[in-house]
């Protein structure tokens, strides 16, 4: 049975998001990507999509932190107690208040490796091993 994931990212990270989507799809996960190119999507539609998802994935970059819609999506996922994977670029020191500090997982710079790491985290999640995960991107 496939599990529905929601991935939020800035326009600059769309290629990374597509790589993650491709890897997760091959592992029988359905994923929808929300990015800055989706300005026509209403808050209500985003809320409904997040309500329907099991896992929320956020690629957090400086652009992400500056955009209210992404912070809304992350806040909503936290409020709804969704399983959350945060991929945070090292130029972002921390999430703005009131977001909690999230655990960190090390990884290398290769996007294929990162996509595989996200897949493995989801597999572990299905065994009940986490609620919040943060992956720091090292440049």
What's 99's domain CATH number? 3.40.50.2300
Is a pLDDT exceeding 80 seen at residue 6? yes
pLDDT computed for residue 136 by the predictor: 57
Closest CA to 29 of 97, 104, 123: 123
Strand partners, 7: 33, 57
Is a pLDDT exceeding 80 seen at residue 27? no
- 110 or 67: which leads in pLDDT: 67
Rounded percentage of the chain residues whose pLDDT exceeds 90? 3
- 72 or 134: which leads in pLDDT: 72
pLDDT computed for residue 132 by the predictor: 58
Residues in contact with 60: Cβ distance below 8 Å, sequence separation at least 6, in sequence order: 86, 87, 88, 89, 92, 95
Distance between CA atoms of 37 and 103, rounded to whole angstroms? 29
pLDDT computed for residue 137 by the predictor: 57
For 8, the domain range is 3-137
With beta carbons less than 8 A apart as the criterion, state whether 6 and 38 touch: no
- 138 or 78: which leads in pLDDT: 78
Count of domains in the chain? 1
Tokens of 130: 């986490």
């Amino acid at each position: 049975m496939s599990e529905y994931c929601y991935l939020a990212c800035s326009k600059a990270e769309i290629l990374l998001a597509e790589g993650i989507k491709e890897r997760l799809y091959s592992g029988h996960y359905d994923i929808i990507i929300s990015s800055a190119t989706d300005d026509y999507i209403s808050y209500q539609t985003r809320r409904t999509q997040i309500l329907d998802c099991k896992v929320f994935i956020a690629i957090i970059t400086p652009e992400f932190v500056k955009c209210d819609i992404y912070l809304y999506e992350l806040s909503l996922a936290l409020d709804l107690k969704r399983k959350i994977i945060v991929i945070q670029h090292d130029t972002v020191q921390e999430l703005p208040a009131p977001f909690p500090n999230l655990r960190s997982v090390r990884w290398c710079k290769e996007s294929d490796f990162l996509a595989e790491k996200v897949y493995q985290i989801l597999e572990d999640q299905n065994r009940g091993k986490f609620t919040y995960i943060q992956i720091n991107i090292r440049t």
